[in-house]
Structures are given as structure tokens and as C-alpha cells.
Amino acid sequence: MNLKLKHLPFLFLPFSLSLNAQELKAELNKEVKRVEKISYILDYPQKAKGMFL
């Protein structure tokens, strides 16, 4: 019984790692969207100029 309890955290390790990977991926996606939004805002005057000409 003692041996099983000692190895119990290792059973949950892959699950917690995959959870971390999903959280990390979500954070990276947020960061990418933020960068895209900033670059769109910075490019907007040129896009607007093209529409009005």
C-alpha cells in the first residue's frame, strides 16, 4: 500500500503536463491575437488611405 501511495503523483504527472501545455497554447494564441490586432491598428491608416483613394 505504501508503495502505491508513493507512485501516485507520477500517475497524475502526464495529465498535469498536458494541462499545462493546453494553458500555454491558449496563452500563446492570446499573445498572437494581440500582436495581430496591434499590427492591424498600425497598418490601418494605409488600409484606410487605400479605400478612400
Total domain count for the chain? 1
Cα 40–44–49 angle (5° rounding)?
A: 155
Whether residue 38 is contained in a domain is answered as yes
The residue among 43, 25, 47, 45 whose CA lies nearest residue 35 is: 43
pLDDT at res. 15:
67
DSSP 1: -
Any domain includes 7: no
Residue 5 belongs to some domain of the structure: no
Domain carrying residue 50: 17-53
pLDDT in tens, the chain (53 residues): 455 666 666 666 666 677 778 888 888 888 888 888 888 888 877 766 666 65
Q: Which three cell numbers stand for residue 8?
A: 501516485
In a domain, 12, yes or no: no
46 found inside a domain: yes
pTM of structure: 0.43
* Count of other CB atoms within 10 angstroms of residue 53: 5
